[in-house]
């Protein structure tokens, strides 16, 4: 816990002071460094968040019976336009509408809205994806770590490709790959089957596996996102694998442990410290993965594959219900904060740095 800068060093050796001047003394050094970022974040990050909470209790931007309401408080000449009406407080109505799937509210959104289904699908989407990412990532890292494997460097170079391409391009390319008429996937399946097969990946409503209420588009997006996600986990696992001393494996094989036993009792436990934080990052990222869902299925069919972030965007972009969207975003935060706190606890990310 050595003092790292002159200000702190001086404060440490000085005579005892009143708490307030002590606080000031400690703040004086970092303040000049923090000030620009603090000012910018207060205006563009924290103020909008506070404003969002206020918005969530109003009917901000709601479309009036008589005609379309404008959000513009300032028209030409600085005066409010004729169809401007200040947002009115509605109490908790936005929240109760969302949480109880109030029928008239759902009808306003086109009838496919179900908060609990969206939340459930989002969680399932996240954990099924990250599960595949982590297990495939570890297995492939172990495979590439086999001594004496030819062309290891080339494989590593190829396997990084999905990480290199922008998400948005990956999502759009996979959308077209799964196209029912012209997509490469159906053509590939037809080639293997020897007869033309047309799977309607994004439009088939009946779940392909009876009993599991997940539409075909979920599986298409799962494939695309597995393709996208495992290389990152594999790289993290590779880094951790190579810090495992070889002697451990040698000792284990002298004791007569099989390869499988070595994997379960040496490799996996020693990968854990590296994989847990990476999986946590993966969980938050996948939970918020806008691009794959929005560009591939667009939430369809019938909103069955909608996740929280795509629904939030739809509320603003399509429905123009700003107050409802704000309430919905507050609910997203309410879901994410526990996940964040658990992550923070496990990775100890904000703990003091002690070198």
Partner 1 sequence: MASVATTPARTGSAVRQGSSKSGRQLKWWQQALYQALCLFIGATVLFPVLWIVSMSLDPRNIARPTELNLIPPGASLDAYRQVLDRPTGNPVTFAELAMNSLRLAGGVALFALLIGVSAAYAFSRFKFPGRQYAMIAVLGITVLPAVATIAPLFALLNGIRITATLLSIALGIAGLLAAGFGLLIIVPAWRSGTAVGSTYLLGGVALVMGLILLVTAVSPPANDIFILRNSLLGVGIAMISGALPFAIWNLKGYLDTIPKELEEAAIIDGASANQIFFQIVLPLSTPALAVTGFLSFTTGWTEFFLSWQFLTNPQDFTLAMALYNMTGQYAGSVPWSRFAAFSILVSLPVAIVYLLLQRYIVGGLTLGGVKG
Q: Which stretch binds partner 1 (CB under 8 A): 119-127, 152-160, 203-211, 212-220?
A: 152-160
Integer Rg of the chain from CA: 27
Q: Which is nearer to partner 1, 35 or 103 (CB)?
A: 35
Among 175, 216, 229, 267, binds partner 1 (CB under 8 A): 175
Given the complex with partner 1, which of 92 and 143 has the nearer CB atom? 143
Residue span binding partner 1 (CB under 8 A) among the ranges 93-101, 105-113, 126-134, 270-278: 270-278
Binding mask 32-51 for partner 1 (x = CB under 8 A): xxx-xxx-xx--xxxxxx-x
- 86 binds partner 1, rule: CB under 8 A: no
- List 106, 119, 123, 173, residue binding partner 1 (CB under 8 A): 173
From the CB of 120, what's the least distance to partner 1, in Å?
18
User: Is residue 248 near partner 1 by the rule CB under 8 A?
Assistant: no
Give the whole-angstrom CA distance, residue 294 versus residue 355: 43
Candidate residues 109, 144, 216, 220; the one interacting with partner 1 per rule CB under 8 A: 144
234 and 135 in contact (C-beta within 8 Å)? no
Instruction: State yes or no: residue 180 binds partner 1 (CB under 8 A).
Output: no
Nearer to partner 1, 210 or 355 (CB): 355
| Listed ranges 115-123, 212-220, 250-258, 320-328: which one lies at the site for partner 1 (CB under 8 A) | 320-328
Q: Which of 165, 197, 251, 342 binds partner 1 (CB under 8 A)?
A: 165
Taking the complex as a whole, the smallest distance from the CB of residue 185 to partner 1 amounts, in Å, to 9
Give the shortest CB-210-to-partner 1 separation in angstroms.
Answer: 28
Q: Interface with partner 1 by CB under 8 A: which range of 19-27, 97-105, 106-114, 117-125?
A: 19-27
Is residue 69 within 8 A of residue 54, CB to CB? The reply is no
16, 21, 67, 150: residue in contact with partner 1 (rule CB under 8 A): 150
Residue 48 corresponds to which tokens in the numbers above? 């909008």
Contact positions with partner 1 (CB under 8 A) in 183-222: 184, 187-188, 191
- Binder of partner 1 out of 113, 125, 174, 201 (CB under 8 A): 174
Q: For partner 1, which stretch binds (CB under 8 A), given 91-99, 113-121, 212-220, 227-235?
A: 227-235
Q: CA-to-CA distance for 53 and 57, rounded, in angstroms?
A: 7
């Amino acid at each position: 816990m050595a003092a790292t800068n002159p200000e702190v060093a001086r404060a440490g050796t000085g005579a005892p002071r009143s708490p307030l001047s002590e606080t000031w003394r400690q703040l004086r050094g970092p303040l000049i460094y923090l000030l620009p970022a603090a000012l910018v974040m207060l205006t563009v990050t924290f103020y909008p968040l506070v404003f969002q909470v206020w918005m969530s209790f109003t009917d901000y931007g709601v479309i009036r019976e008589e005609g379309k309401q404008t959000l513009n408080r300032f028209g030409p000449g600085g005066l409010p336009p004729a169809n401007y009406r200040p947002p009115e407080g509605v109490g908790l109505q936005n929240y109760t509408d969302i949480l109880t799937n109030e029928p008239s509210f759902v009808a306003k959104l086109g009838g496919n809205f179900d908060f609990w289904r969206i939340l459930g699908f989002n969680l399932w989407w996240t954990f099924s994806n990250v599960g595949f990412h982590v297990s495939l990532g570890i297995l492939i890292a172990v495979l590439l770590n086999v001594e004496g494997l030819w062309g290891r460097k080339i494989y590593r170079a190829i396997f990084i490709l999905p990480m290199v391409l922008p998400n948005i391009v990956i999502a759009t390319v996979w959308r077209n790959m799964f196209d029912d008429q012209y997509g490469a996937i159906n053509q590939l399946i037809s080639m293997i089957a020897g007869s033309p097969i047309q799977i309607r990946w994004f439009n088939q409503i009946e779940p392909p596996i009876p009993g599991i209420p997940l539409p075909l588009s979920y599986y298409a997006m799962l494939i695309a996102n597995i393709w996208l996600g495992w290389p990152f986990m594999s790289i993290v696992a590779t880094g951790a694998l190579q810090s495992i001393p070889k002697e451990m494996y040698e000792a284990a094989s002298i004791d007569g442990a099989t390869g499988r036993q070595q994997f379960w009792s040496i490799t996996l436990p020693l990968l854990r410290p590296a994989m847990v934080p990476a999986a946590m990052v993966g969980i938050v990222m996948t939970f918020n993965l806008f691009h794959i869902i929005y560009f591939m299925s667009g939430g369809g069919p019938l909103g069955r594959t909608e996740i929280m972030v795509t629904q939030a965007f739809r509320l603003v972009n399509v429905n123009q219900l700003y107050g409802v969207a704000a309430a919905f975003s507050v609910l997203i935060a309410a879901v994410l904060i526990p996940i964040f706190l658990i992550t923070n606890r496990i990775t100890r990310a904000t703990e003091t740095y002690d070198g």
